[in-house]
Amino acid sequence: MCGIIGYVGAQPALEVVLSGLRRLEYRGYDSAGVAVVGAGVLRTERRAGRLANLEKVLDEGSDAMPGTTGMGHTRWATHGGPTDVNAHPHTDCTGTVAVIHNGIIENFAELRTELENSGHELTSETDTEVVAHLLEIEIARSRAASGSTGGSATTAAAAVAAAAATAGTAGSSGAAGGAADTGPTGPHPLTEALRAVCRRLQGAFTLVVLHQDHPEVVVGARRNSPLVVGLGAGEAFLASDVSAFIAHTREALEIGQDQVVEARRDGVTIYDFAGTPIEGRRYHVDWDASAAEKGGFPYFMLKEISEQPAALADTLRGRLSPEGSIVLDEERLSDQDFRDIDKVFIVACGTAYHAGLIAKYAIEHWTRLPCEVEMASEFRYRDPVLDRSTLVVAISQSGETLDTLMAVKHAREQKARVLAICNTNGSTIPRESDAVLYTRCGPEVGVAATKTFLGQVAACLLVGLFLAQTRGVLYGDEVAAYVDRLQRMPELVRRTLGTVEPVRELARSLAGAKAVLFLGRHVGYPVALEGALKLKELAYMHAEGFPAGELKHGPIALIEPGLPVVVVVPSPRGRANLHGKIVSNIQEVRARGARTIVIAEEGDTAVEPYADHLIRVPATSSLLAPLVTTLPLQVFACELALARGLDVDQPRNLAKSVTVE
């Protein structure tokens, strides 16, 4: 939820950190703060509100923040409201240690009591502040043990590291940009202190810490919350995601669960919480800084909507091997493991959950396996029946959604097999899974998922085909024919996006509406849910999605004259009778005064008499239709929100990556 960046190198840290925060602000935006160590002083600044508030203060302030070691935070509040005092960084009683945090420290109340009882003064309402004070204690303990009185470089190890850092030389650990190493002379005292503190914490956390006396290091740790390392030349970055440092380096290092990372100018060292050195997995980021910029669009969301043909094409590229098999990205299971699957669960949240609902139709139709789709936040609390022959498909754009991650962990504890569909290389959910299919949509910065939804739907269809093929339910030529149809979808997406201007006009005309209902049947039902979610999160409007057939069982009471009702119509060439049934449903709401907005495929003339507004999409096969019917709904929600004067990239109360349960 929060965005975190730490930096150690030769550049002015404040600039690096602020530019990183600008790219991370989509993760949380109710307050922001920075800390820089330089000239023997730790300076911090933090402000409630958007990053711009903080930047204004920093611009106005006469005090510069000199130094080449620093960190920054953009917050999505959990404990304590979005005030200046609750904004990160948090410091200890001495003001020499600063901490930023993403996640929730579940045992913070008892730790706080313990700290207060021993004389520590905590000033915020956050769970984070306890970490600064626990570090204070650990650092004092380590100094007492080594006979040091504090000040710069309190141990021999720190002295070596500081010397290497000052000289910009490698010491014994190799230049930054190399693989993980074991540090100049073992773990830095700040690393050791953070490791000790982490062992006392319960919950989920990414922590990054700085110490006034140790400009040579920035130290981070993680448990169930994201943290990646950027490896530059003579500099290193710790961040919630690679977008924070992509302008400086595309070389990254994964940090695993329960690990501490010590970043220096001359190298990076990883330890587990027991103190054992760990080799992190290094990877190259396959997109560059321009992909995470607006590229001439006023909002990321508009750019990301327009990128959908390419996102879909990239996700589908190379998925059929020369032998005619569907290709996943990672597979740690055998064909026999997949053949043994007798049940599929899909777990996901929000938009990814809607992609999962669409997948259910395809997976059951193609594989004849029962498939249940479950909100990840509910999954593990209801004792789902799982075993080795259950496949759990976890869908997550970020790969860090904690609800989904916890569902994955629960599934694995029950011995189920897990396949992840994810957009973020190096993130946690794929790493915790037995097989992975990456959506290759590039970075999605707008909080509302758009291009990654299309990527997820395509990936789900590929997983369905993969299972059907592995289990021998579909022949190779049938699979190839579906893949061929899928490969033609990017062009249909492009065509559809070229015809949405009337949708924009319609959306603007409805800016004053109080509510909108969305109806669908078959795969059109999850599309209706997605249309409603987009409108809620972007336009703050009451919007509900229903299966059109369910309307008469209650929701039809909501219909009143003038209420806009969007209907996603299935193809007349699809499931028998379905089309005729939804045409009746449109008539039912229209008879009660609703203003009908009908999304139907080209050539479907039967709906014309009942549509107050008709939105055409290209004809395609039933299971692939969501790849085009979703598009006008994204545009509708975006335009309506803009007409209401709202920020579509950073809607209120939301964050892009939800790393708390």
Which spans of this chain sit near ligand M6R (rule: CB under 6 A)? 349-352, 396-398, 401, 404, 447-449, 533, 537, 657-658
2 is catalytic: yes
Sign of the dihedral defined by the CA atoms of residues 361, 363, 369, 370, in that order: negative
Q: Which whole-number Å values give the CA distances from 603 to 44, 319, 485, 525, 571, in the listed order?
A: 63, 32, 19, 21, 10
Report the residue number, 404 or 470, with the smaller CB distance to ligand M6R: 404
Nearer Cβ to ligand M6R (32/406): 406
The stretches of 555-652 forming alpha helices (DSSP H) are 578-591, 626-643
Nearer to ligand M6R, 102 or 596 (CB): 102
Q: How far is the CB of 150 from ligand M6R (least distance, A)?
A: 43
Considering beta carbons, is residue 530 or 604 the nearer one to ligand M6R?
530
Could you give phi then psi for residue 94, rounded to 5 degrees? Answer: -90, -10
Q: Rounded to an integer, what distance in angstroms lies between the CA atom of residue 522 and that of residue 458?
A: 17
Q: Which is nearer to ligand M6R, 403 or 601 (CB)?
A: 403
Beta strands 90-91 and 69-75, pairing class: unpaired
Nearest distance in Å: CB 651, ligand M6R: 8
For 576-598, b/e burial (b = at least 16 CB within 10 A) is eebbeebbebbebbbeeebbbbb
Catalytic residue among 303, 360, 451, 656: 656
Of 2, 198, 441, 460, the catalytic one is 2
Beta carbon nearer to ligand M6R, 96 or 456: 456
Supply the DSSP symbol for 543.
E
CB of 558 to ligand M6R, least distance (A): 23
Quick one: 218 or 538, whose CB is closer to ligand M6R? 538
Could you tell me the smallest distance in angstroms from the CB atom of residue 212 to ligand M6R? 36
Between CA 113 and CA 130 the distance in angstroms is 10
What's the min distance (Å) between Cβ of 539 and ligand M6R? 13
Q: How far is CA 333 from CA 388, 475, 519, in A?
A: 11, 21, 39
Minimum CB separation of residue 350 from ligand M6R in Å reads 2
Report CA dihedral (13, 17, 20, 21) to the nearest 10 degrees: -170
Give least dist CB 640 to ligand M6R, A. Answer: 15
* Cβ atoms within 10 Å of 27's Cβ, excluding its own: 31
Q: Give yes or no for a contact between 1 and 76, defined as CB atoms under 8 angstroms apart.
A: yes
**Cα–Cα distance measured from residue 318 to residue 455, given in angstroms and rounded to the nearest whole number:** 14
Active site residue 656: yes
CA distances from 543 to 254, 263, 281, 566, 581 (A): 40, 47, 44, 10, 23
What does the DSSP 8-state code read for residue 219? E
Which residue's Cβ lies closest to ligand M6R?
350
- Residues marked as catalytic: 2, 656
